[in-house]
Amino acid sequence: MPGGREACGRFLGVLARPTAPLASCAAVTARLAVRVRLGNTAGEDTGRPPDPTKTLEDDVASEVQRTITGIGVCPGKVVGPVVFLPEPLAEPSPGLRLRPTADLQAEADRIPVAAAQVQADLERAAASATGDTRDVLEATAAMAADPTLAADAARRVIDEHLIAERAVWEAAESVAQQFEALGGYFAERARDIADVRDRIVAALSGRPAPGVPDHPEPFVLVALDLAPSVTASLDPARVLAIVTDGAGPTSHTAIVANAMGIPAVVAATGASEALAAGDTVLVDGSAGTVLVHPTDQQVATARALAATVRTFSGEGRTADGHRVQLLANIGDPAGAEPAAAAGAEGVGLFRSEFCFLDREQPPTTEEQVSAYRTVFHAFAGRKVVIRTLDSGADKPLHFLSVDDEENPALGVRGLRTAEKWPELLEQQLEAIAIAAAAEEAEVWVMAPMVSTVAETEWFVARCAAHGLETAGVMIEVPSAALLAGPILARAHFASIGTNDLTQYTMAADRLLGSLAELSDPWQPAVLQLVAATCRGGDLQGRPVGVCGEAASNPVLAAVLVGLGVSSLSMTARAIPDVAALLGAVTIGRCREVAQLALAAESAAEARAVVRAALPQLDELGL
């Protein structure tokens, strides 16, 4: 295949399709483990030969309690046995070629059939899924359906006499190398190509598709990392928790786990080596710890807390009545009703990209109006904050052609696209205004990737021209946080996207598992910028919210409220836990722990000192 960005063909559009959270703050996670051990409980094959040198003393020593630390991304304490993700498919031998008398065309024809089977399996799984899970499965199915990979593999069968499995492997390797050469976000997408490759090779060879192993009881899944489709296909009834050596707090693994309500600890370096198949572990998704061999009392306490079902219906407040709006993040119209049913007070982030992705032409005004009205209708009488098109970087669109960018994350994205294609923004604002007029929701509009006062002033003026009087901005880059005062002298509100703000503050790609420690919203530098934004809001009498993944962490939510944040928007599933902790602490206590976090010198220290200062966490099981 030819080299360069063009050679990636339609894969660019397919791979760029983000899950809802990764649209603002992302997309699909990076690499699957290169080697992972298969394990299960005693009495079953652990996938590892017995060690003849192991003694009784070793067995006794293995029962010693120890703690593995990572980054918690979904609250909850669960206990279960360790099961490792099975090893990925072995690479077909490079020397495998067809006999001279073989029917080359028949062998080549097997490839699109296998790809279609993979596509159908993934689409079938997507049909019974919702939200982020459905988005990822559909995106992976689209990759399997793309003819680029299958056509190149078929050519290799005809020209080089490779067996179909080897041809697919080499064709996928070629595409992956091109993405790796592009660097940044696209380099991380090479993992997605390998995921599709493995599924097609499995279909060709009659083996089970890669995925979560069967196990007779619910378990804790341990892996170096998880492929996007594996994460999206997790069954919360089977997988009690996730522990990964890699990935980060804003990775796909973390975001989907949070959306599903599966406690997860990511960036737990060395976990795969430190744990053994069948080990009983207590995973604390809030503290980011994995306790190996918990005591009977610890197990009983964790299970009692896990049996507690929290709900939320009302208004978010601290114990002494300080008001904090608890809102939901919505990725598409289908998410509106579930979020409303979960008791969300409104929508703090309605991502509008769903209308524009995977299309050759932008949606019509009528299409947009219909989609927006669905969400506005579900939240009649309540606030809905819709974000205008956030394209570029990890969300390139077929109909927007940007010159070659060495670093798309720092290129033409978000509101910057409106300078080159102003008609898209004008049409979208028109559609939002029509939809808002037809429904009873309190509609606010905000622009992504705002960096300057001038951009803010221009966007607010464009909204006003369409009769949209409540216009705000997202704070995702340090310049916007530092200029929050003058920016909020123009804008009516600000919403902090902590995923991107962390990425740009720490100069760390949020999708790179190797930079997970830096991609942590607990970083004191990030919290300092949140505080600066809130000071700007106070100065101008404007509300400041948070709509990034940080809002869904109850402990960090208390810190954000203490810094001056007035609303928190998150996956609807997280609202009850956040409400429970806020309802157990006073605003004064929130301010105290916020100062502790600001004074810390690392993310780990900030997290630790705040947790130590909130005894309510143990009582609530958070």
Of 444, 359, 455, nearest in space to 415 by CA:
455
In sequence order, the 6+-apart residues with CB closer than 8 A to the CB of 419 are 412
Determine the angle formed by the axes of helices 131-145 and 104-127, rounding to 10 degrees. 170
Q: Any binding-site annotation on 510?
A: yes
Strand intervals (E) in 507-617: 544-546, 567-570
- Specify whether 492 is catalytic: no
Q: What is the DSSP letter of 135?
A: H
Q: Any binding-site annotation on 499?
A: yes
SS3 per-residue string spanning 82-118: EEECCCCCCCCCCCCECCCCCCHHHHHHHHHHHHHHH
How far is the CA of 225 from the CAs of 31, 202, 255, 333, in angstroms? 6, 20, 13, 30
Q: Any binding-site annotation on 476?
A: yes
Catalytic residue, candidates 25, 355, 534, 547: 547
d(CA 622, CA 615): 10
d(CA 215, CA 233): 15
d(CA 563, CA 496): 12
d(CA 21, CA 492): 24
d(CA 267, CA 227): 15
Of 249, 258, 390, 316, nearest in space to 560 by CA:
316
SS3 per-residue string spanning 269-332: CCHHHHCCCCCEEEEECCCCEEEECCCHHHHHHHHHHHCCCCCCCCCCECCCCCECEEEEEECC
- Specify whether 161 is catalytic: no
Catalytic residue, candidates 8, 25, 74, 252: 252
Number of helices (H), then strands (E), in the chain: 27, 16
d(CA 565, CA 546): 7
Q: Which residues are annotated binding-site positions for Mg(2+)?
A: 476, 500
**Among all residues, which ones are annotated catalytic?**
252, 547
Binding residue positions for phosphoenolpyruvate: 351, 387, 499-500, 510
